[in-house]
Amino acid sequence: MKNVAVVGSQWGDEGKGKIVDWLSSEADVVIRFQGGHNAGHTLVIDGVTYKLRLLPSGIVRKNKISIIGNGVVVDPWALLDEIQEIKSKGVEVTQKNLIISEAANLILPFHREMDEIREDAAGKAKIGTTRRGIGPAYEDKVGRRSIRVMDLVSENNLNNRLETVLMHHNAIRKGLGKDIYKKENLIKDLIKIAPEILKYSQPVWKKIDEFKSQEKKILFEGAQGILLDVDHGTYPFVTSSNTVAAAAATGSGCGPNSVNYVLGITKAYTTRVGEGPFPTELTDKIGEELGTRGKEFGTVTSRKRRCGWFDGVLVRQTIKISGIDGIALTKLDVLDELDEIKMCIAYELDGKKIDYLPAAVDDQLKVKPVYKTFKGWKSSTKGIKKFDDLPNNAKNYINVLEKFVESKISSISTSPERNDTILIEDPFKI
């Protein structure tokens, strides 16, 4: 029995939604283990489009249990809106198929305001956050002043916890010339929605232990990508959580041996949203073409994504860092019309060739990609389901990519449709 963790091997937006949906059809339990409603997955099932932000992808399938783990930061109003939105499309959401960790930390209105205040004050040094309060909520978690799901049980406890966290936030707000945040209306609002949140609340670590003893297949669903990891990404232009596969254990409440296979979702080119280094970025006509053909706009923010060639150096690095066993290569069909295709196989930094992305942001901004050039295949790969049916030039690109990143390709996606996938190995059945 295999449990599988799915992570993005680039800067997110690799097409995890489709792959996770495909895997969730085999899984019994799907767990989101980090991030918040700043990361979105788009699923298309039987012609119906579902845009998920907090809810795990398994929620749209019958007889699956979906879990929001302790590593996720939860905006309770955003979650309730998302539940209502998905119910309106005929999806059933009950205490039987949705569980929220009682230890999950809440994103509250003053977190969103702090996110906006700081981004606006940063000017050219802004990070490019989604302004949804994710970072400030994680800061409060680490600072041990956060409000958690379990704190909604007691109004007296909630009052005391808010007193503590607002002492911190109001000191910063005063320093930035902003009005202090008053807790009275917030307490009323939280008490009003508390029953709707608490009815899903359980000790997730205990439930996972039960599921393991019952030999249920568990899918750990990551958000964003490894290059946005707060420790291993392009810091400080990163998210505020750990996006590597190891976070599946800490973000849900189980040992690392609970994850038996790590699948890295990998786009056949590279995209990035927001600020920060991007060695292979294309600001020319080809970059525009990739963005147009790939429909590169954020699920949550609708922001246009920056586009560039596939960066083999970065993906090889994230494979090592996250212990990726196999990659699911997505959006191959976006490259169909190009005369030539490039892959970054090294960097030059101050006249020297290097084979990794350095940790210092100044160096990350200076590195120049060294490319290997491939002939394009100039024919459609859309909907192809067998590797042998791919054009020879496409097969050559894929084979070189696989060898360079030092991880086998487990599947190749040839369109957004769930069934348009070349399956090489099934992570649940290895």
Read off the pLDDT of residues 357-415 as tens digits, 9 standing for 90 and up: 999 999 999 999 999 999 999 999 999 999 999 999 999 999 999 999 999 999 999 98
As a whole number of Å, the CA-based R_g of the chain is: 22
Q: What's the pLDDT score for residue 200?
A: 98
pLDDT range class, residue 141, cuts 50, 70, 90: very high
**Residue 33 pLDDT more than 80?**
yes
Percent of the chain with pLDDT over 90: 82
Q: Is the pLDDT of residue 148 over 90?
A: yes
> End-to-end distance of the chain based on CA atoms, in angstroms?
9
Interval 133-156 mean pLDDT: 96
Helix (H) or strand (E) holding 211: helix 204-213
* Alpha carbon 331 to chain centroid, angstroms: 17
Instruction: Check residue 126 and give its pLDDT.
Output: 67
> What is the residue-averaged pLDDT of the chain?
93
The rounded distance, in Å, linking the Cα atoms of 416 and 419 is 9
Half-sphere exposure of residue 427, counting CA atoms within 13 Å on the CB side?
32
Q: Which of 13, 140, 311, 325 is catalytic?
A: 13
User: With b meaning 16 or more CB within 10 Å and e meaning fewer, what string describes 219-242?
Assistant: bbbbbbbbbbbbebbbeebbbbbb
DSSP per residue, 97-138: TEEEETTPEEP-HHHHHHHHHHHHHHGGG-----SSSHHHHH
> Does 300 score more than 90 pLDDT?
no
d(CA 15, CA 289): 18
pLDDT digits (tens, 9 = 90+) for 237-281: 999 999 999 999 999 999 999 999 999 999 999 999 988 999 999
Q: Is 122 a residue whose pLDDT tops 80?
A: no
Q: Give residue 124's pLDDT.
A: 67
CA dihedral 119, 125, 127, 131 (to 10 degrees): 10
232 is catalytic: no
Is residue 41 flagged as an active site residue? yes
Residue 282 predicted with pLDDT over 70: yes
pLDDT at 118: 83
Tell me: pLDDT of 298 over 90: no
Residues 339-362: tens digit of each pLDDT:
999 999 999 999 999 999 999 999
Specify whether the CB–CB gap between 149 and 101 falls below 8 A.
Answer: yes
> Which entry of 21, 37, 41, 311 is annotated as an active-site residue?
41
Whether 170 has a pLDDT exceeding 70, the answer reads: yes
Looking only at the bridges linking them, the beta strands covering 310-311 and 270-272 are unpaired
Determine contact, residues 103/148, Cβ cutoff 8 Å.
Answer: yes
CA distance 220 to 211: 13
**pLDDT tens-digit readout, 100-111:** 999 999 999 999
Phi-psi region for residue 416, left (φ > 0), alpha (ψ -120 to 50) or beta?
alpha
Inform me whether the pLDDT recorded for 128 exceeds 70. Answer: no
The label of the residue with tokens 């003893």 reads 213
pLDDT tens track for 197-220: 999 999 999 999 999 999 999 999
The per-residue pLDDT for 308 is 97
> For residues 107 and 373, what is the distance between their CA atoms, to the nearest angstrom?
46
Average pLDDT of 47-51?
82
Helix axes 155-175, 109-122, angle to 10 degrees: 10
Identify the pLDDT of residue 299.
Answer: 59
pLDDT at 23 over 70: yes
Tens-digit pLDDT profile for residues 67-81:
999 999 999 999 999
Q: Say which DSSP state 180 is in.
A: P
CA-nearest of 81, 13, 2, 27 to 308 is: 13
